[in-house]
Structures are given as C-alpha cells and as structure tokens.
Amino acid sequence: MKRRILIDCDPGIDDALAILMALAAPELDVVGVTTVGGNVGVDATTRNALALATLAGRRVPVARGADTALVVDKKRAESVHGADGLGGVPLPAPAYAAEEAPAWEFIRDRAAEFRGELEIVAIGPLTNVALALSAYPETRERIKAIHLMGGSIGFGNATPAAEFNIVADPHAAAAVFQSGVPITMFGLDVTNRANLSAEGLEELRAVGGRALSPCCSMLDHYLAAYRSFGRDALALHDPLVVAWLIDPSLVETRPYRVDVETDGRYTSGKTIVDVHGVSKRPPNAEVGVELDAERFIALLTRLLRSYDEPGAAGPLGTD
Ligand code: BDR
Ligand code: CA
C-alpha cells in the first residue's frame, strides 16, 4: 500500500525538489500540501507549491498556512532561496487555486479522513503543525507520524546553536516534540551530508529533463549562496526526508529524547538531543545519525528523471 503523506513546507529550493520527488514516487500518495511562511513569506510559498504541482501535472490540494511564528519575530532565508523562494527560476503559472480552508483545518480534516494512516512530512517551520495539534487535540492520535527536517544533535546553521526550521518557530517545534505523535527527526547531522558539489550539479544537469532542468537552475542559485558562506557543496536538506520515506535503508536513526530551547540567551531554537540518556526520560523521536549519500543522490535523480518517461503526465493546462 502507498504511504499517505501530507507535505507541510516553505518552498524554498530544497523544498521544491522534495515536492517534485514526492509527486513522482509511486510509493507515495500525496494527499495535500500545506504552506507556511519560512524561507519566504506564505504568499510566495503557496504560489510556489501550486506552480510545482502544476509543473508535475498533479492537481494536488494546496492549503495556505501561517505567515508568522507563534511567538517570535519572523525569520526568512531569502539570501539562500532568492526573493521569490525559487532562485528566480520561472515555473508554469499555477493552473488552479489554493483551498479555502487554512492549513491547520486541512491537516485536521485529512487526519480524520485517513485516520491512523496519515504521515506528515514537515520541511518548514512547524507553525501549521503545532496549530493543528493544539487547536484540534483529537488530531494527535489520528496522525501516524511526523517526519521533519529540523534541528541537529550538533551545531546550527541559522545561529551557532540552532537550525533554521526550528529557530524560525521554536515554540511550535517544542509543542510538536511534546505532542506524543511519533517523530522522525532529520537534522543537520545527516542533511548537511546529503551533499551535491559543483561537479555533482553538472552531472545532474547533463541528465536533464523537464523537472531536472529547472531544478538545476534553482540549485545554481542555492550553490552560489552556499559558496558565499564558504562551503563548496550544497546540502539537500528537505529531499532527504522524502527519499527516506521511499527507502528507509538510506538513513540510520536512533531513538532519543529531544526538547527544544525556547528562551536561551545564545541557544534559542536549539534541539537538545539526549544522546547519552542522562535525562532518564523516554525517547520521543527517532533521530537520523548516518546516511548513504551516494544512493540518496541516485534516488533523487531517478525520481526527477521519471517526469520524462513515456506516459508521464505533462504540466497541467497543456494537454
Ligand atoms: C532548512 O531551512 C530551509 O532554508 C530549508 O528549506 C530547509 O528546510 C534547512 O535548515
Ligand atoms: Ca524547507
């Protein structure tokens, strides 16, 4: 049976690849996409999600969510993803509109519809997910699991201590980790190693195709941003979560207790991962610790290339 997933995201260049991979995967039934303000504002992330589904040829429902965090001031990552969130790369205009319902109601309704089956793939700040779980507590036991890109056992990327998705809404992240819903956490410890060098990007470009080509143009922008931080390879954070859903052998996880610092002077937004069990509290997450980067890139390439297979759907609105 296909895994039923809902993608909560802030596209975002790496989100864009993750969405296109998920929509291409025969193993996954994407029941909806919810958008949140994160890398860029929610107007742009919603438009981008609709444009990506249009490119994929899939009229998957998209529900717009929160633009700002529950408590802290908003943070954006336009320096990495560009002002429009996709590095200025043009995509087809959205062929349909977003849902009437806001993201948190959409999450509640899909959790009720697919009771015990729905897996949330959360690859942006966790505001929408936290709102759904707190406003509709019955939703907690209806969700099978939350698989999130966020946090780290070690250091941060948005601050020395904190990863972007968690520090962008630490109160929401804390609520999600305390919710009792089973969690898989893909932090920087593994996603920073889901790497693509300039040479790797050229190899991907040489494969080409109607989804891969715009993805490579987006990754040009993304790699330039990484280079401006002194790094020689880009990190495909969000796609790793989707790849793991399709092939769980790609990432090794371990059960740990994870809490989120919400008011540290230097550490706000840091995930505190109890690797040595010193708190004596039971684990609340499976945390990614190792990955097979080579097989991950091979899977990403295969999925994005599949848009060019004979019989694959073309973009919406171009029959
Ligand atoms: C995360 O932050 C965002 O910029 C990316 O899309 C990813 O979800 C990496 O820290
Ligand atoms: Ca993201």
Separation of CA 127 from chain center: 13
Name the residue with tokens 């890139």: 297
Closest atom of ligand 1 to CA, residue 235: 9
Q: Is 164 helix (H, G, I), strand (E, B) or coil?
A: helix
**DSSP string of 201-268?**
HHHHHHH--TTHHHHHHHHHHHHHHHHHTT-SEEE-HHHHHHHHHH-GGGEEEEEE-EEE-SS-TTTT
Q: Residue 318: its pLDDT value, please? A: 56
136 C-alpha vs ligand 2 centroid, how far in Å? 24
Pocket test for ligand 1, best of 36, 238, 240 (most atoms within 8 A of CB): 238
Q: Residue 217: its pLDDT value, please? A: 98
Q: What are the pocket residues of ligand 1 if the criterion is a CB atom closer than 6 Å to any ligand atom?
A: 12, 14-15, 39, 77, 80, 123-124, 149, 157, 163-165, 237-238
- Residue 159: both structure tokens together: 């601050």
Pocket test for ligand 1, best of 9, 13, 21, 39 (most atoms within 8 A of CB): 39
Closest atom of ligand 1 to CA, residue 158: 10
Q: Residue 5: its pLDDT value, please? A: 98
288 C-alpha vs ligand 2 centroid, how far in Å? 17
9 C-alpha vs ligand 1 centroid, how far in Å? 10
Alpha-carbon span 57 to 132, nearest angstrom: 29
Sign of torsion over alpha carbons 240, 250, 192, 306: negative
Closest atom of ligand 1 to CA, residue 168: 2
CATH fit for domain 3-308, picks 3.90.245.10, 3.10.400.10, 3.10.20.340, 3.40.50.300: 3.90.245.10
Name the residue with tokens 């706000």: 268
What does residue 261 show for φ and ψ, rounded to 5 degrees?
A: -75, 120
Q: Residue 317: its pLDDT value, please? A: 87
Alpha-carbon span 291 to 308, nearest angstrom: 28
| Residue boundaries of the structural domains of the chain | 3-308
Q: Residue 313: its pLDDT value, please? A: 86
Q: Is 42 helix (H, G, I), strand (E, B) or coil?
A: helix
Ligand number nearest CA of 75 is 1
Spans of the chain, pLDDT less than 70: 318-319
**Catalytic site residues?**
237
Taking ligand 2, which is a single-atom ion, which protein residues have CB atoms under 5 Å away? 10, 12, 15, 123-124, 238
One-letter amino acid identity for 254? R
- Contacts of residue 276, Cβ cutoff 8 Å, sequence gap at least 6: none
Q: Residue 251: its pLDDT value, please? A: 98
